[in-house]
Structure 1
Amino acid sequence: MKRLLSLALASLFTASAHAGEGVSGKPIATHAVLVHGIFEDGSKFKKMKARLESHGIRCIAPKLIHHDGIGGLDFLAEHLKKDIDQAFGKDEKIILIGFSMGGIVSRHYLQQLGGAERCATFITISSPHHGTAAAWTFPSEGAVQMRAGSDFLAELARTEDRLGNIPIVSYRTPMDLIILPAESSVWDRAENVSFNIPVHPMMIQSRKVIADIERRILKPHQDTRS
C-alpha cells in the first residue's frame, strides 16, 4: 500500500514538474512583468517565472510599495511604471500578468500611464474587475478602491478603450473566496477563462493556468485571441 501511494505521489509530482513541457513557439514578447496581489511580494510567481524563463522570456516580479495598498492603487501603478522602465527601458514590448490586486494596478498603468502602448498582451488572474466584498475587511486606500462601485473602478471602466487592441485574458475560479462574488473577475473586454482551483493563491501556481498562459504567449500575436 505504501509503495502504491509513493508511486502515485511520484507520478503526480512528475506531471506537475513537467507541465507545459512540449509547448513550443516563438514568444510574442521576450520581456514579462508579473504583478503580485495585496499583502504579497511576488514570491508566489516562482513557478510561473521559471516556466516563462524556460522559453527565453526575461521576467521581473516587482515588489509593490506598499503591498497593503496604503497610498492607493494609482500610487502603486506609478511605482510599477518606474520599475518596468528601469528594468526594460521605455519602449520594449512586454507581457503583463497581474494577480488579484496586481491586475487592477496593472490596468491603471495601462490605461492611465501610457503602458498600453508597449503591451503585447495583458493577463489578469483572479482580479476584482468589478470589486470584491473582501475589500471591506481592510481600510487602506487601495482596498477602498477595490470595493464594488468605487470611483477608481468606475474610471477604469470608463477608460478601458485606451487598451486598444491588446489581447486580454482574465482567469478566474468559481470557488474564489477572496474575489467576492467570484464573477467579479469576469471582464467583458477580456477572453474569460475559468478553472476549478480551490484556493485563491493557488491560481498563479496552478499548472493548468500556467500551461494555458504558455499556449497563448507562444504563438503569433494576432492569434492570441479567438
Structure 2
Amino acid sequence: MDTNNRPIFLVHGLWNNPKLFEKLIKKIKKDDYQLYRPHLPHKYGKTSIRHLAHDLDSKIEELVGSEIEIDIVGFSMGGLISRFWMQNYYGFLRTKRFFSIGTPHFGTFTAQMIPSFLMPGIAEMKRGSSLLSQLNNDLTSLEKVECTSFFTKWDLMSFPGWQAKLPIGDSYHLPVLTHKELITNSNSLDILAKKIFNSS
C-alpha cells in the first residue's frame, strides 16, 4: 500500500493530547493522508501503559478495523504505548512503519522516584521496570516493522536522551535542546515531516 493511502496513527505522550501534532500536520498537505489522532487519557500518569495500549487497540479497531495495514507515530510515552500494542496485541503484523520521537525505550531517570502505586504509568518508564524489560528482552516482532527513532541527546524528560532510541532501525539526532522541541521546533518538524510523510 502506498504511504499516502496507508492510515497513520499519531499517538501523544504524557501530559499531552492529540493537539500535540498540529504543528507537524501544518508541515504537510493533510488531505493527502489518512491521519488519526486517538485521545488516550493518561490521568497525569495514573493510567498504566498496559491499559493505554489496550485503549489504543480499541481505537484502531474502531477507526480502521482489524485488517488494514497502518503506520504509527509515537511521541514520548506514546512510543511505549505503541510498542506495547505492537508487541503484545500482534500489532506488528499490521504495522508497516513505526516512528518514535523522544521515547524512553530504556527508561528515564526522571521517573525513577515515582511510586508505582501512585502513578503506575510514569513508574513503568523507570529504568529496569518490568514493562520495559519485557519489551526489550525480545525484539523479534519489532524486527518485522520498519522502525525509526528520533531523539536529542540533551533530553531531560527521556533521560539520558542519547538512549531514547531503539537498537534496531534508523535513528536521527534532531537539532534541538529540549524534549518538547522535538515536536514543536520548526527545524525538527521539517525533518519529521520529510521522514514520516516523505514531504520535501
TM-score band, normalised by shorter chain: 0.7 to 0.9
1:58-80 CA-partner distances (Å, limit 9, x unpaired):
21211113343323101000001
Preserved CA contact (<8 Å) 1:77 1:106: yes
Runs of 5+ consecutive residues of structure 1 not aligned to the other structure: 1-25, 220-226
Are 1:171 and 2:150 matched, yes or no? yes
- Residue 62 of structure 1 is matched in structure 2 by 38
Report the alpha carbon displacement of residue 146 of structure 1 after superposing the two structures with TM: 0.4
Equivalent position amino acid for 1:61 in 2: R
1:150-208 CA-partner distances (Å, limit 9, x unpaired):
11101001232112421111100111111111122132113111012122112112333
Report the alpha carbon displacement of residue 31 of structure 1 after superposing the two structures with TM: 1.1
- Residue 110 of structure 1 is matched in structure 2 by 86
- Residue 146 of structure 1 is matched in structure 2 by 125
Aligned CA distance change for structure 1 residues 91 and 134 (closer, same or farther; 3 Å): same
TM-score by length of structure 2 reads 0.88
- Residue 216 of structure 1 is matched in structure 2 by 195
TM-score by length of structure 1 reads 0.78
Are 1:121 and 2:97 matched, yes or no? yes
How do residues 181-192 of structure 1 correspond to structure 2 at under 5 angstroms? 181-192=160-171
1:36-72 CA-partner distances (Å, limit 9, x unpaired):
1111112111022344553611212111133433231
Q: Secondary structure at the match of 1:79?
A: helix
Are 1:78 and 2:57 matched, yes or no? no
The structure with more radius of gyration: 1
Preserved CA contact (<8 Å) 2:74 2:101: yes
Report the alpha carbon displacement of residue 87 of structure 1 after superposing the two structures with TM: 1.1
Aligned CA distance change for structure 1 residues 218 and 76 (closer, same or farther; 3 Å): closer
More moved, 124-133 vs 162-171: 162-171
Aligned CA distance change for structure 1 residues 54 and 42 (closer, same or farther; 3 Å): closer
Q: Secondary structure at the match of 2:73?
A: strand
* Aligned-CA RMSD value: 1.9
> Structure 2: how far apart are the matches of 1:97 and 1:176?
19
Aligned CA distance change for structure 1 residues 128 and 116 (closer, same or farther; 3 Å): same
Q: State the identity as a percent.
A: 26
More moved, 74-83 vs 177-186: 177-186
Preserved CA contact (<8 Å) 2:4 2:32: no
- Residue 15 of structure 1 is matched in structure 2 by none
Equivalent position amino acid for 2:138 in 1: T
Are 1:205 and 2:181 matched, yes or no? no
> Structure 1: how far apart are the matches of 2:69 and 2:83?
16
Report the alpha carbon displacement of residue 108 of structure 1 after superposing the two structures with TM: 0.2
Equivalent position amino acid for 1:82 in 2: S
Equivalent position amino acid for 2:136 in 1: A
